[in-house]
Structure 1
Amino acid sequence: MPFAVHHTLAALGSPFSLPCQPTAVAAPQWLAFNPELAAQLRLPQAFWGTDTGVGLFSGNNLPDWTKPVAHAYAGHQFGHFVPQLGDGRALLLAELEDESGQLFDLQLKGAGQTPFSRRGDGRSPLGPVLREYLVSEAMHALGVPTTRALAAVLTGDWVQRETAEPGAILCRVAKSHIRIGSFQYLAAQGDTAQLTTFADYVIQRHYPGCANSANPYLALLEAVISAQAVLIAQWMSLGFIHGVMNTDNMSISGETIDYGPCAFMDSFNPAQVYSFIDRNGRYAWGNQPKMASWNLARFAETLLPLISDNTEQAVALATKALQQFNLINETEFRALIGKKLGISEATAADEPLIRDYLNLMVKNSADFTLAFRLLSQSVADINQGAATLFNDQTAWQQWAGRWQQRLAEQGLTSADLQSSMDAVNPALIPRNHQIAKAIEFATSDGDLTLFNRLHNALKTPFMLSEQDEELGHPPTPQQCISNTFCGT
């Protein structure tokens, strides 16, 4: 099939987006390229690792099939509403159609100032680009809906943050970059006609089945609630902490978006926070379902005039839809953790077993990833595998005995159980200390060896080769990362 390009968001015009050209950079050069994703998008090979590709992904020489725009949105940032945010350092170049007909945004991040930059420089340091490249591609390999990394280039310019850092640009791909904040932006303007136009666009692009519903806008709300409830459960099951779950960072399509101060937990702690700017723990691991629900309530508020002309009825319908979030999220989380424990179809009766293992992990400061990965080695012998992670052996033995009894009810062999568990419990995640080390090497002397090694290993997170075994090790006390940062 031929290369197919669309500009459906740009075609909506103002106020949904504004045209904007990227700012030229001094001396762009390749950092990374994703040929598998390029093939999926049917991107012509003239852009694969070539000078022509550098021209595209740096923004220095855009082909005529691009039509760059900056998307407009608002958002609640740590609970405080800002009526205009928008793409302050990102530009949507085009929407590419894959072989299945699915549209994907092609967006440059760090491409310079836009109409929404406010006082920002529109640039990105190298570190956040490498972090997002690694973590977003790892999330994809782990089976979690996410934006993806297509390319990264070094700009040849310096970006001033606390110190001067090398600049870089990331080209990321998503089903779209539309957020809850996109709807908040329009709702704040009080223009119901524009809001309706945008809601119809989102339905057509992401949830076409809603158009046939008796109440399409209520159906849209329900669809987004369901997608986000499942997504958050997936994050939680992997020990992932987004770090900045503002409404402008929550996508309508149900993808993980805007990797800033994100991190995967090492030792399990439900109150764990890494983001330097999250001083009160608003977006801690254990708070993510509650905050997602809060964000979705803000989304529901924007749709009220579309759901019903009768405000009281609209509120009642939206409230009922929002009440489904916890049920969907908790059911999905139980199912995911159940599978990680080797329980093929976890029910409410399994919740005490699941809860008690999580509590055991917390009390023993067990590494989140290893506490599940090593559990398959404990299927045949509870003195092996995960047993080594728990100082309180009495509590472990008591729990493990109950767990083995539950597994026995399924009538599966130890080999089958171990295989199914290893297929859902990663041996490798993007460890904070390894990412920090890769960024340090790349920033200080341009050494991408560890970055490339991590990138390749994270493509198969459920199979860790012998030569990469240390990449899966938790940090030593000296290697622990306390804070992560965004790139703005």
Structure 2
Amino acid sequence: MPTRPQAYRPEAKLLTLGESFFDPVAPADFPETRLRFRNDRAAAQIGLDALTDDEWTRHFGRFAPLPDTLPQPLALRYHGHQFRSYNPDLGDGRGFTFAQMRDDRNRLMDLGTKGSGQTPWSRAGDGRLTLKGGVREILATEMLEALNVPTSRTLSLIETGQELQRGDEPSPTRSAVLVRLNHSHVRIGSFQRLAYERDEAGLRKLVGYTLRNLYDEDSDDPVRLLDLVVGRTAPLSARYMAAGFVHGVLNSDNINVTGESFDYGPWRFAPTWDPAFTAAYFDHQGLYAFGRQPEAIHWDVMQLAVAIRQIADSDPLVAALDQFGPRYQPEVTQAILWRLGVRPRDPDADRDLVQATERALRTSGVGIDRFFFDAFGGNLPDTYDAQWDQVRAALMSYEPRKDRSHSYWSGEPCSMLIDEVEAIWAPIAEQDDWTALNAKVAAIRTMGEALAE
């Protein structure tokens, strides 16, 4: 039966928070706008896939307002802990929210930007995004979506015709503006700002906005909000692990209250199951290393509890926080079983299989993507030696959740290690050749189809 087309259903709920939560801004006037990537699959879920390329560029490169939503872009105000140091001098410095609408699941969605120009929160920054940074975000979001990780979607990338100076890539380098589709840009840091300013009325207003608009709950209860955020961020942590993904900058201003991963700077996929593997060259202490990500996200959620302590009793907040670990453990088990392509059996057996898998991955040095590709459906090939015997024996008692008839399984595993990211970027930088990027996006989506329920 054909799927009914999704209608464009605009909203402007953000305006109900009031002007103390954001600053109206104007987008940069770019020298040019060259459409480089449009995600029609994501656009179809919000009723925008029928836009012509000219209309697309006008809305997502020049930021002409979409009908009946926010009348102008809004730079959101927030604070946050950055590598555990509190910073009250944050806020949207090179992005803004410029539209809201309902998606095909009736969720309130935001369209936000990266690289759209300076705002009152830009500090010394130029408010711009490098084209390479935009390409990297496309690859990160596409890969995570395919691997069943809750993530923002890269909706659009438009090259903007400026030369930028950057210390972490060869300069001058090309510029771009990116549009992301998110189920909210309300961050833990949004609550921290209000707590820092001792704005109890603002805290209550933001709690109510979040519960009603993002969780569909008719409530103003801050404890309920914390419980829901724990229930979203614990699975996010678990799915990072199963995906072998390292975000790199899990600061409290980069954790939103709907538990979607977003804002990809120095990300990496770990080649092997190495808990100490880091993504950011400046993470000298390994604070956000692969194996420490659940701890890091839990710590960020603790900062939400600290913020809303101004309007709630501490005991129920502590009780809600204490559920992070008990919720994380079954979630990481389910996430790894999903990637193994087998159906859950019973909690004890499932836990034993996952522990044996993690142990063998860590000690063997076998690539994460290689292993999950080979083992999908529960049959580990004979090429895996004796250190995999416990995993092989455990898998024999599991039923596959999906067979290997999809064409994806006749090839090689789809990975996204740093060398390939650089190999995809090189022809764009040198010959303006986007073939490798387009082919990789298609390959990632093929993998997603093979893995999906």
Q: Is the pair's TM-score, using the shorter chain for normalization, greater than 0.5? A: yes
Displacement of 1:264: 1.2
* Match in the other structure for 1:443: 429
Aligned: 1:174 with 2:182 = yes
Render the CA deviation track for 1:355-410: whole Å, top value 9, x for unaligned: 2332222222110111121124872x7514xx1xxxxx3323x424xx32x34445
Structure 1 Cα separation of the partners of residues 181 and 367 of structure 2: 32
Render the CA deviation track for 1:16-38: whole Å, top value 9, x for unaligned: 11100101000111101112222
* Match in the other structure for 1:193: 201
* Match in the other structure for 1:275: 280
The 1:282/1:60 distance shift into structure 2, 3 A limit, reads same
* Match in the other structure for 1:263: 268
Render the CA deviation track for 1:407-440: whole Å, top value 9, x for unaligned: 4445x5x8977679x99xx932333222221122
* Match in the other structure for 1:371: 371
Aligned: 1:458 with 2:450 = no
The 1:415/1:24 distance shift into structure 2, 3 A limit, reads closer
Aligned: 1:331 with 2:323 = no
Kindly report which structure 2 residues correspond to 1:137-156, keeping only aligned pairs within 5 A, or say none: 137-156=142-161
Structure 2 Cα separation of the partners of residues 416 and 55 of structure 1: 43
Structure 2 gaps of 5+ residues are 1-5
Q: Do the aligned partners of 2:344 and 2:350 also contact (CA within 8 Å) in 1?
A: no
Match of 1:49 among 50, 53, 77: 53
Displacement of 1:81: 0.3
Q: Do the aligned partners of 1:271 and 1:285 also contact (CA within 8 Å) in 2?
A: yes
Aligned: 1:105 with 2:110 = yes
Structure 2 Cα separation of the partners of residues 177 and 60 of structure 1: 18
* Match in the other structure for 1:315: 314
> 1:457 is aligned with what amino acid?
A
Aligned with 1:27: secondary structure?
Answer: coil
Q: Do the aligned partners of 2:185 and 2:256 also contact (CA within 8 Å) in 1?
A: yes
Kindly report which structure 2 residues correspond to 1:375-386, keeping only aligned pairs within 5 A, or say none: 375-376=375-376, 379=379, 382-384=381-383
The 1:333/1:184 distance shift into structure 2, 3 A limit, reads same
Aligned with 2:44: secondary structure?
Answer: helix
The 1:291/1:35 distance shift into structure 2, 3 A limit, reads same
Match of 1:432 among 383, 400, 418: 418
Q: Do the aligned partners of 1:210 and 1:216 also contact (CA within 8 Å) in 2?
A: no
The 1:82/1:33 distance shift into structure 2, 3 A limit, reads same
Aligned: 1:296 with 2:301 = yes
Q: RMSD across aligned C-alpha pairs, in angstroms?
A: 2.5
Structure 1's consecutive aligned runs of 4 or more residues displaced over 4 angstroms after TM superposition are: 60-66, 414-420
Match of 1:184 among 192, 196, 205: 192
Aligned with 2:282: secondary structure?
Answer: coil
Q: Do the aligned partners of 1:23 and 1:60 also contact (CA within 8 Å) in 2?
A: no
Q: Do the aligned partners of 1:158 and 1:166 also contact (CA within 8 Å) in 2?
A: yes
The 1:372/1:39 distance shift into structure 2, 3 A limit, reads closer
Displacement of 1:238: 1.0
Q: Do the aligned partners of 1:141 and 1:458 also contact (CA within 8 Å) in 2?
A: yes
Give the stretch that moved more between structures: 183-192 or 90-99.
90-99
Q: Do the aligned partners of 2:10 and 2:67 also contact (CA within 8 Å) in 1?
A: no
Render the CA deviation track for 1:211-264: whole Å, top value 9, x for unaligned: 1xxx72111100000100011101111101111000000010111111111111
Structure 1 Cα separation of the partners of residues 439 and 260 of structure 2: 26
Structure 1 Cα separation of the partners of residues 304 and 401 of structure 2: 46
Larger radius of gyration: 1
Aligned with 2:110: secondary structure?
Answer: strand
Would you say how many aligned residue pairs link Structure 1 and Structure 2?
A: 436
Match of 2:31 among 14, 26, 35: 26
Structure 2 Cα separation of the partners of residues 88 and 173 of structure 1: 18
Q: Do the aligned partners of 1:29 and 1:154 also contact (CA within 8 Å) in 2?
A: yes
The 1:143/1:382 distance shift into structure 2, 3 A limit, reads closer
Render the CA deviation track for 1:103-154: whole Å, top value 9, x for unaligned: 2111121000011111110000011101111211222233221110111100
Per the normalisation by structure 2, the TM-score is 0.90
Structure 1 gaps of 5+ residues are 308-313, 388-392, 465-488
* Match in the other structure for 1:218: 223
Displacement of 1:322: 0.6
> Kindly, what percent of the aligned residue pairs are identical?
29
Render the CA deviation track for 1:160-197: whole Å, top value 9, x for unaligned: 11221100011111111111001001111001011111
Q: Do the aligned partners of 2:130 and 2:164 also contact (CA within 8 Å) in 1?
A: yes
Q: Do the aligned partners of 1:361 and 1:368 also contact (CA within 8 Å) in 2?
A: yes
* Match in the other structure for 1:399: 390
The 1:305/1:265 distance shift into structure 2, 3 A limit, reads same
Structure 2 Cα separation of the partners of residues 169 and 415 of structure 1: 40
